[in-house]
Amino acid sequence: MSRLVIISNRVAVPKARGAAGAQGGLAGALNSALKKFGGIWFGWSGEESSETTGHIQLQTDDGVTTATIDLSETDIEEYYNGYANSTLWPLFHYRLDLTEYENETGRGYERVNETFANSVAPLIDPDDLIWVHDYHLLPLGERLRSHGAKNRIGFFLHTPWPPARLFVSLPYHERLVRTMLEYDVIGFQTGEWLGSFLHYCEKELGAEVDESTGRIAFEDKETFARAYPIGVDWDHIQTQGKTKEAKNAEQRVIDSTRNRIAMIGVDRLDYSKGLPERIDGISRFFDQNPDRTRDLVFIQIAPPSREDVDSYQKIRAELEQKTGQINGARSEVDLVPIRYVNKGHSLAELCGFYRASKICLVTPLRDGMNLVAKEYVAAQDPEDPGVLILSQFAGAAHQLTEAVLVNPHSPDNLARAIRTALDMPLEERKRRYEALVKTVREDDIHGWTNNFMRDLRELGAQ
């Protein structure tokens, strides 16, 4: 059986990361795939060194071998803070207003991709399957090929892929996509992002595209692009939800909210998550329902993210200002309507918080998938489930159609959805929950890994 080599910007060993949201599920799935197939996980250590030497630190922990390299300050600035998070991330989330078009950082991005390829190449055996993740490493497949890798190489994009009319605003867009066609299989979260990519390949690149199979033929190359919606680790959430840590966390919310209903949001502090818009919607709800002010407590967990990037500093300041404003205007001596928490929490704690919260707000302006939505469903009490309010612009909305779907840009729409959720009878909550749970459970993280690995092995292989 072939070994698996996973390559991503960060190497996420679950024990090492307590961040909120999806990280635990993805890290867990990739770790279990690595345990099953054997192999290594390669990426940036997250550490800065005086220069990028490409020197590998190898570590084996619980049957999984990780190989990491440090990056220099300039590389981190140009590759991670720069091209990946100030150019590609905003562009891929349809935010041309925040996208920086600096060729300088583009060169740093290409340089670090080459460093990754150069460092990992000696660790790759001819029969290994290689699986590259995310927008930090779009050209890595092509770089690996230039180092002689003839392996099957797959790529999965965790973010949206923008419509062609937006993507062409990127200088050298064609060069970037040409490098991606060196992958054997390219995975997207939803048919929408996949459609945008195929459309670009056909209309802008002039590739031959077969939409029914996802086959892209371009010059002498053949690639398959398909949608593989990522899921959560259902069993792991059930186990974590039963731990003492989860029970304590649940009790903390129940005790501290007493007769009020807890409504929760869990997001990295990122402008794509629609956090200020969410606060506007809550504020509108309070304006329109003065009699319900004392019924509701909103808990927003928002661990800071990418703090050296300008747009992230701005969104944090904006959120702090809005939260402070609404709390100042609406608090009573015994009531603070919004609890704003900048800390990350373990999955067990989140399961407890989710269970104690009768409403969950997942309202990104644009999101590849959003696993918080799925985690919330998986953590509910089937006898008294809460209500998921979900943005129509999250990838998850394609699957979780029984959530209360909203337009996160509209404060009125959000306010109405909160009212609907608060008033929803138990019977309807259960009916919606059962439909949601079916999807979350059936399309879990293991199915995602297996489907991608199957296609990587088989699609177009001679």
What's the closest the beta carbon of residue 109 comes to ligand F6P, in angstroms?
A: 14
Please report how close the Cβ of residue 161 comes to ligand F6P at its closest, in angstroms: 13
Instruction: Among 158, 316, 345, 358, indicate the residue that binds ligand F6P (CB under 6 A).
Output: 158
Catalytic residue flag (residue 308): no
Paired sense of beta strands 296-301 and 338-341, if any: parallel
Q: Tell me whether residue 367 is one of the annotated catalytic residues.
A: yes
The yes or no reply on residue 432 touching ligand F6P (CB under 6 A) is no
Positive/negative CA dihedral, 342, 347, 353, 357: positive
Closer residue to ligand F6P in complex, CB, 158/215: 158
Pick 193 or 285: Cβ nearer ligand F6P = 193
Binding map of ligand F6P across residues 186-215, x = CB under 6 A, - = no contact:
------------------------------
Determine if 272 is a binding residue for ligand F6P (CB under 6 A).
no
Burial class for 55, CB neighbours closer than 10 Å (0-12, 13-18, 19+): exposed
Which residue, 15 or 147, has its beta carbon nearer to ligand F6P? 15
Binding to ligand F6P (CB under 6 A) within 132-151 occurs at 134
Of the residues 233, 367, 443, 455, only one is catalytic, namely: 367
Report, in Å, the least distance between residue 284 CB and ligand F6P.
Answer: 29
* By the rule CB under 6 A, 23 interacts with ligand F6P: yes
The nearer residue to ligand F6P, 159 or 300, going by C-beta atoms, is 159
Distance CA 389, CA 163 (A): 26
CB 25 within 8 Å of CB 236: yes
Kindly state the smallest distance separating residue 270's Cβ from ligand F6P, in Å.
Answer: 8
Burial of 3 (0-12, 13-18, 19+ CB in 10 A): middle
Catalytic residue among 93, 133, 136, 158: 158
Q: Is residue 366 a contact residue for ligand F6P (CB under 6 A)?
A: no
Alpha-carbon distance of 250 to 9, in angstroms, equals: 33
Residue 371 CB, nearest distance to ligand F6P (Å)? 9
Task: Please tell me whether residue 81 binds ligand F6P under the rule CB under 6 A.
Answer: no
Beta carbon of residue 22, minimum distance to ligand F6P (angstroms, whole number): 7
Nearest to 186 by CA among 207, 165, 170, 168: 207
Structure tokens at 452: 């991608």
- Spell out the residues 6+ positions from residue 449 whose beta carbon is closer than 8 angstroms to its own: 29, 30, 32, 33
- Find the residue with minimal CB distance to ligand F6P: 158
Site string for ligand F6P, 294-323 (x = CB under 6 A): -----------xx-----------------
Q: How many residues bind ligand F6P (CB under 6 A)?
A: 7
**Nearest-approach distance from CB 10 to ligand F6P, in angstroms:** 5
- Residue closer to ligand F6P, measured from CB, 158 or 345: 158
State yes or no: residue 273 binds ligand F6P (CB under 6 A): no
Per CB under 6 A, the list member of 10, 226, 273, 366 interacting with ligand F6P is 10
Contact residues for ligand F6P, defined by CB under 6 A: 10, 23, 134, 158-159, 305-306
- Residues annotated catalytic, as ranges: 158, 367
